[in-house]
Amino acid sequence: MTTSSESLAIVTGASTGMGAATARELARRGYHVLAGVRRERDGQSLLDAGVEPVILDITDPGHIAALTARVEQDPRPLRALINNAGIPGAGPIEVTPLDEWRRIFEVNLFGHVAVIQALLPALVRGRGRIVNITSLNGRLSMAGYGPYASSKFAMEAMSDALRNELAPHGVPVVVVEPGGVKTAMAGHGTARLSDLGARMSPEQNERYGDLVQALPSHVAAFTEAGNTAEEAARTIAKAATVRRPRTRYTIGTTAAFLIGVSRFLPDRLLDRMTTADLRKHYRPVR
Ligand SMILES: NC(=O)c1ccc[n+]([C@@H]2O[C@H](COP(=O)([O-])OP(=O)(O)OC[C@H]3O[C@@H](n4cnc5c(N)ncnc54)[C@H](OP(=O)(O)O)[C@@H]3O)[C@@H](O)[C@H]2O)c1
Residues having CB within 6 Å of any atom of ligand 1? 12-19, 36, 38, 56-59, 84-87, 107, 111, 133, 135, 178, 180-181, 183-185, 188, 223, 226
* Mean pLDDT calculated for residue range 139-161: 98
Residues catalogued as catalytic: 148
CA atoms within 13 A on the CB side of 195: 10
pLDDT above 80 (res 124): yes
**pLDDT tier for residue 5 given thresholds of 50, 70 and 90:** confident
Centroid of ligand 1 to alpha carbon of 270 (angstroms): 27
- The CA-based dihedral angle spanning residues 77, 78, 79, 83, taken in that order and rounded to the nearest 10 degrees: 180
**pLDDT tier for residue 192 given thresholds of 50, 70 and 90:** confident
Distance separating alpha carbons of residues 159 and 174, to the nearest angstrom = 8
Could you identify the atom of ligand 1 that is nearest to the CA of residue 188? 20
Instruction: Tell me which residue has its CA closest to atom 40 in ligand 1.
Output: 38
Provide the pLDDT for residue 3. Answer: 43
Q: Where are the domains of the chain?
A: 8-279
**pLDDT tier for residue 52 given thresholds of 50, 70 and 90:** very high
DSSP states of 110-134: IIHHHHHHHHHHHHHHTT-EEEEE-
Handedness of CA 90, 92, 95, 98 (dihedral sign): positive
Going by C-alpha positions, the residue among 50, 56, 102 that lies closest to residue 82 is 56
Could you identify the atom of ligand 1 that is nearest to the CA of residue 223? 3
The CA-atom distances, in angstroms, between 52 and each of 15, 37, 58, 273 are 12, 10, 17, 44
Question: pLDDT for 106-117, tens place per residue?
Answer: 999 999 999 999
**pLDDT tier for residue 285 given thresholds of 50, 70 and 90:** low
**Phi, psi of 227, rounded to the nearest 5 degrees:** -85, 165
Centroid of ligand 1 to alpha carbon of 13 (angstroms): 6
**pLDDT tier for residue 79 given thresholds of 50, 70 and 90:** very high
CA atoms within 13 A on the CB side of 135: 29
Could you identify the atom of ligand 1 that is nearest to the CA of residue 182? 1
Question: pLDDT for 156-174, tens place per residue?
Answer: 999 999 999 999 999 999 9
Q: How many other CB atoms are there within 10 angstroms of residue 71's CB atom?
A: 23
* Mean pLDDT calculated for residue range 71-95: 97
Give percent of the chain with pLDDT exceeding 90: 93
**pLDDT tier for residue 97 given thresholds of 50, 70 and 90:** very high
Provide the pLDDT for residue 283. Answer: 84
pLDDT above 70 (res 2): no
Centroid of ligand 1 to alpha carbon of 131 (angstroms): 14
Question: pLDDT for 202-226, tens place per residue?
Answer: 999 999 999 999 999 999 999 999 9
- Burial profile 88-121: b = 16 or more Cβ within 10 angstroms, e = fewer: bbbbbeebbeeebbeebbebbbbbbebbbebbbe
What is the dotted CATH code of the domain comprising 8-279? 3.40.50.720
Provide the pLDDT for residue 286. Answer: 52
Handedness of CA 143, 192, 157, 239 (dihedral sign): negative
